[in-house]
Amino acid sequence: MIAIDISREKLSRIRDSKLHNLDLVNCSAHALPLRSGSMDCVMMVLTMHELPRDLVDAVLEEVARVLKPGRRLLVADKAFRKPQRPSELLPYLVEVAYHSTKRFLGLEPLVLMPRTPKKYVEIVSRHLEIESVEQRELPWVEPQRFLSSWGRETKSLVERLPEPQRTWIKTLIDRIESTAREHGYGPTPAIVILARKRLDQ
């Protein structure tokens, strides 16, 4: 197994967990240092929505390149749907707060963000053959559990923002936290896509 991430910090956490039979590679997903046709399976879990918009297709082209013909990509990610309750908007708003803060600081470009299931399928199908699509729901999280675990990095970064971006993000954070206190967080819509590299690719 090979774990790939652009963040050295995330890879160091995996290394410190002392998982066996796992190689760690620090690189961007749009330029994989792997041989063409060498992988049996590629998994992108909570990854696609974090990709820069202008690199999503390049990343999926790389996935298709490194997969053996007939082998599969598994995508599991947050999806966006029209919320029915205030708590259902929070999985999207926390992404807006985090990624907008990083973008304002020049730490990342415009990212894909959670998309509708239909949009995810459309993107993946440009590069691989869709075998199955399953929509799921990650469970609702009670207020205290969410509030005790969310926002550490976002709140740390927001202090480095200039005005008026800092006020805008802080207002958004206040909205997230007040909504979570009253309604909890989620449930979070999710999508699981299984796609296959065509034999003629």
> What is the rounded CA–CA span in Å between residue 77 and residue 159?
29
Name beta bridge partners: 30.
none
How many of the other CB atoms lie within 10 Å of CB of 162?
8
pLDDT per residue as tens digits for the range 106-160: 999 999 999 999 999 999 999 999 999 999 999 999 999 999 999 999 999 999 9
Q: In 86-175, where do the E strands start and end?
A: 129-138
For the cut 80, the answer to whether the pLDDT of residue 19 exceeds it is no
pLDDT in tens, 3-18: 999 988 888 887 777 7
Taking each helix axis from N to C end, the angle separating 165-183 and 86-104, rounded to the nearest 10 degrees, works out to 160
Asked if pLDDT for residue 22 goes beyond 90, the answer is no
In sequence order, the 6+-apart residues with CB closer than 8 A to the CB of 109 are 52, 53, 54, 103
- What the block records as the tokens of 80 is 């966006």
Over residues 32-89, the pLDDT tens digits come to 999 999 999 999 999 999 999 999 999 999 999 999 999 999 999 999 999 999 999 9
- Unique residue bearing structure tokens 């969410």: 146
* Position 60, amino acid: L
pLDDT for the residue 11 = 85
Alpha carbons 179 and 77: distance in angstroms, whole number: 23
Residues present in the chain in total: 201
* Partner residues linked to 21 by β-bridges: none
Residue 30, pLDDT above cutoff 90: yes
75 forms beta bridges with 44, 193
For residues 173-196, give the mean pLDDT: 98
Residue 69: is the preceding peptide bond cis (ω within 30°)?
A: no
Beta strands at 67-78 and 129-138: parallel, antiparallel or unpaired: unpaired
0.75 exceeded by the pTM? yes
Does residue 190 have a pLDDT over 80? yes
Residue 66 confidence (pLDDT) = 98
Q: Is 81 within 8 Å of 138 (Cβ atoms)?
A: no
For residue 13, what pLDDT is reported? 81
pLDDT in tens, 158-171: 999 999 999 999 99
Token digits of residue 198 = 């065509």
